[in-house]
Chains A and B, each alone.
Chain A
Amino acid sequence: MGLFIAQILTGLANAGALFMVASGLSLIFGVTRVVNFAHGSFYMLGAYVGYSLMQVLPGMVGFWGAILLAGIIVGLIGVIVEICVLRPVYSAPELFQLVATFGVILVIQDLALMIWGPQDLLGPRAPGLKGVIRIMGEPVPQYDIALIVITPFVAFGLWYLITKTRVGTLVRAATQDREMVSALGVNQAWLFTGVFFLGCALAGLGGALQLPKGGADLLMDFTILGSVFVVVVIGGMGSLPGAYLAAVIISVLNVFGVTYAPQSTLVLMFVVMVIVLMFRPFGLLGKEEIAGEHGQVGEPERPIKPAGNRVRWLVAAGLLILGLLPFYSGNFAVVLVTDIMIFCLFAASLHFMLGQGGLVSFGHAAFFGGGAYAAALFVTYANTPMELALVLAPICAGLAAIVIGWVCLRSTGVYFAMLTLAFGQLLWSLAFQWGDVTGGDDGLVNIWPSDWASDNDIYYYLAFVLCIGGILLLRQAAHAPFGYAMRAARDSARQAEAMGINTKRIQWVAFTFAGIMAGLAGGLFVFSKGSIFPNELETARSFDALIVVFLGGVKTLSGGWVGAAFFEGIKDYLTRFEYWRLALGLSIIIVVILGPEGIVGSLRKAGERFGILKVPEDAK
């Protein structure tokens, strides 16, 4: 009984930070309609800034003062980010905003590395609260009790601010109808900035408050992001009481999970989420969100045409050069290009459902890594030969996509993005925690190709045929009725449904098709590397694909593989720099704001300007 109560208390204490980050995210979304993917980064900054302040400020006052100050400082950093990065993209489609905030994640990661170094920092204990108290014989840290007391105060303060003050009234009004509020003479820009300050300050506060329990490290941002999305999705986007309730449920669940099912703590969280969503698609206390009409960035997307003869010859020539590669270059180039082709297929599969279907997935690595793990598990436990494993990898990924797609497609827009991310995290945590089967962090090794394909050159040809074949198949699908139906569902679901198209089923099939292709890429990947580790399932891997698709050009047909080839090609060079994330993050932000057409779109424009390509009548 004592243990039971102690565990509930620990859960409640852990819920504090989670609630603050989640409510901040929820607030920002409610008013600005931007899902701030960098919210975990502000939480991390809160921890680091709090740590530094605690080194300078002495005693009890210093400790609590440092926490408050950390919140304010992080809030101000949030203001800078809002003004510089988000203001230019408020009217852009969701994808652009999400990618922009992802750029912020990269920048903050490297800045934190620059300032605080790579070591994990141990948080100082709270002065006066270093001991434990005993509840029915079980020790409970005093600081936990303090957190349990503080969190409801923060929650109440927030609730008071939102429901009882003039500022709160404006915020709520803006949540309902932004245009009306600005028509009534409220300076919308500064209202957004103010809300961003508040949301980021909450995240910073959460990060600083958990210092004595968890310290500060460079992985905090992604670690909390998954949980925060789960909390927001379970509680209901935009609902503060929902966020608190969900934070408590998840935290208590985690504590019990650690005791009774230590291998499934992370998985448990997602299972709860799926169950909640099956019965309440908008969360426990959330209201139905209707995805708004999307704004446009740059020119409208152009109609597509199958390649003309000139382009076909060009592609054939390119393929010939690629196909003869082993004859004129060394082993290094052959292995590198194998990797590039595999990544191209992965990116092209994401680009297919994102570009044609408008389905912004933040968890596509689930199918890439899933296919890779499926192949590796078959080889390890069933001695499956490579040929069969390469068939099973896409099949398993496709099956996973059928299940995951079914759940995720119950929602749309940003909810869909968050759900895919959460499922990606789920598969990652399965691979990571289920060590007996998956090898956990040590991964699965000795997954080599069959004898006939063990030569690098031969494997190159295998990858060449499957990857190029896969990319061409995806391209054909885009020109086929199926691809058109995907675009119809994306452009106007209303009209599509009214002309007999089952839009959800089209999207479900597209999701599965993309999953199968990613699984094939994963299967090829594992045999090329000989091993697989959980990081191939990480959110960061999903983001890799998303970013190359984006930089390649979402509104073009070739953006996926072109972006992938370009970035996988220069990655080796890029990652030699110490602060390459900073550079990449900044360039992403710049591209979002200045060149949203991406590489292919910009090249096309340049070609048209210099008369190499014909300008369509309607684009003049």
Chain B
Amino acid sequence: MSPILSVRNLSRNFGAIKAVENVSFDLAKGELLALIGPNGAGKSTCFNMLMGQLKPSSGTVQLLGKNIAGMQPRKIWRMGVGRTFQITATYASMTVVENVQMALISHHRRLYSLTTFAHKLYREEALALLDTVGMVDQAERHCAVLAYGDLKRLELAVALAHDPILLLMDEPTAGMAPRERIALMQLTADILDAKGISVLFTEHDMDVVFAHAHRIMVLNRGQLIANGTVDEIRNNPQVQEVYLGGGTLFKAQEDAHA
């Protein structure tokens, strides 16, 4: 089966600094792929290029065979890519359900309509989406007063609104308590599994990564140094070198999972 996302030789320079160098990988349908690496490895740069915030210096990003490298974020979204932010971005002056309706209105290209009432449009669909993330009982709440974990779940519902084929999640559990992290990621994994959506996510919390990723890529100094299954990554000496300077990495997790 041909991959959903196919990245080839993606590079980005800032002056003489090579932030990302010749990164290539594929993402298969339904796959949950994690991109990890120490601070400054180039994860964010890589992500920003995939999402259209940053233009690559060279290389291609193909979504179902179409090159999307250098496209604007809103065009990439229209091609079926959803995203969530590291720091949540929601519309504070709207209710929870209106936040989701907004994405549906945009998807159905009704943004410039003047004659209808926005709060009546696609309400049922929006409520159904909120139901999948367990937020339907808070649908009428004011977005500005939500707890952070709820904002994260709302953002997930928003990202699912246009039935994406691919979801890009930038540190989906950043800023949350440990218990919440696992719960949110479990919820995400379940939903995506049910809908068959592919996911690429970055994450600092190794518990989250090892518990949910199907496959892991490791980025160091702009280069992809490893790409494999959870076990392969766990036992990869180069990865251990990068993370702990040769120490016994992931022992704790191994023990925990054993």
Contacts and interface: CB of A to CB of B under 8 A. Distances in A.
Interface in A443-489: 473, 476-477, 479-485, 487-488
B102 A477 contact: no
Contacts of A128: none
B144 A300 contact: yes
Interface stretch (B69-77, B201-209, B215-223, B250-258): B69-77
A499 interface: yes
Nearest to B142: A618
B92 A301 contact: yes
A303 B98 contact: yes
User: Counting chain B CB atoms within 10 Å of each CB, which of A480, A481, A617 scores highest?
Assistant: A481
B91 A480 contact: no
Contacts of B116: 480-481
Contact count band on B: 35 or more
Contacts of A302: 93, 142
A491 B89 CA distance: 9
B92 A481 contact: no
A481 B103 CA distance: 11
A482 B112 contact: yes
A300 B142 contact: yes
Interface stretch (B1-9, B117-125, B175-183): B117-125
Given A483-B118, A484-B105, A485-B102, A501 B89 contact: no
User: Counting chain B CB atoms within 10 Å of each CB, which of A305, A306, A476, A501 scores highest?
Assistant: A501
B149 to A, nearest CB: 17
A484 B118 contact: yes
Contacts of A506: 111
A306 B89 contact: no
A492 B90 CA distance: 6
Contact of A300 (B93, B95, B112): B93
A498 B77 contact: yes
Contacts of A492: 89-92
Nearest to B112: A482
A498 B83 contact: yes
B145 interface: yes
A303 B142 contact: yes
A620 to B, nearest CB: 10
Interface string B127-146: 00000000000001111110
A324 to B, nearest CB: 30
Contacts of B112: 481-482, 485, 509
Given A300-B142, A506-B111, A479 B73 contact: no
Given A477-B114, A480-B117, A484-B105, A618 B91 contact: no
A322 B97 CA distance: 38
A500 B78 contact: yes
A500 B74 contact: yes
A498 B51 contact: yes
Nearest to A617: B141
A120 interface: no
Nearest to B144: A300
Nearest to B109: A500
A303 B111 contact: no
B93 A303 contact: yes
A499 B102 contact: yes
B142 A479 contact: no
Nearest to A619: B142
A497 interface: yes
Nearest to B110: A481
A305 B119 contact: yes
Contact of A484 (B51, B92, B102, B145): B102
A494 B102 contact: no
A495 interface: yes
A497 B118 contact: no
A509 to B, nearest CB: 7
A502 B113 contact: no
B212 interface: no
A616 interface: yes
Contacts of A476: 114-115
Contacts of A300: 92-93, 142, 144-145
B73 A497 contact: yes
A597 to B, nearest CB: 15
A484 B89 contact: no
A306 B117 contact: yes
A481 B144 CA distance: 20
A616 B115 CA distance: 27
A495 B91 contact: yes
B191 to A, nearest CB: 18
B25 interface: no
B105 A485 contact: yes
A199 B94 CA distance: 40
A618 B139 CA distance: 12
Contacts of A619: 142
A497 B105 contact: no
B195 to A, nearest CB: 18
Contacts of B121: 481
Nearest to A477: B114
B50 to A, nearest CB: 12
Interface string B54-96: 0000000000000000001110011000010100011111110
Nearest to B98: A303
B13 interface: no
Interface in A285-328: 300-306
B106 interface: yes
A448 B179 CA distance: 74
Interface string A594-620: 000000000000000000000011110
Contacts of A498: 51, 73-74, 77, 83, 85, 89
B107 interface: yes
Given A492-B89, A617-B141, A481 B73 contact: no
A510 to B, nearest CB: 10
Contacts of B49: none
Nearest to B89: A495
Nearest to B97: A303
Nearest to A478: B118
Contacts of A491: 90-94
A479 B117 contact: yes
Given A479-B117, A616-B142, A619-B142, A501 B106 contact: yes
B51 A480 contact: no
B118 to A, nearest CB: 4
B158 interface: yes
Contact of A494 (B78, B89, B162): B89
A10 B116 CA distance: 60
A480 B111 CA distance: 9
A490 B93 CA distance: 10
Nearest to B113: A481
B142 A488 contact: no
A222 B29 CA distance: 63
Given A480-B118, A501-B111, 17 more contacts: A300-B144, A303-B142, A479-B117, A479-B118, A481-B113, A483-B118, A485-B111, A485-B112, A488-B94, A490-B93, A492-B89, A495-B91, A498-B74, A499-B107, A499-B158, A502-B74, A616-B142
27 contacts: A300-B145, A301-B92, A302-B142, A473-B114, A476-B114, A477-B114, A480-B113, A480-B116, A480-B118, A482-B112, A482-B113, A484-B102, A484-B105, A488-B91, A488-B94, A492-B91, A495-B85, A495-B89, A495-B90, A497-B74, A499-B102, A499-B106, A500-B77, A500-B106, A500-B107, A500-B162, A501-B74
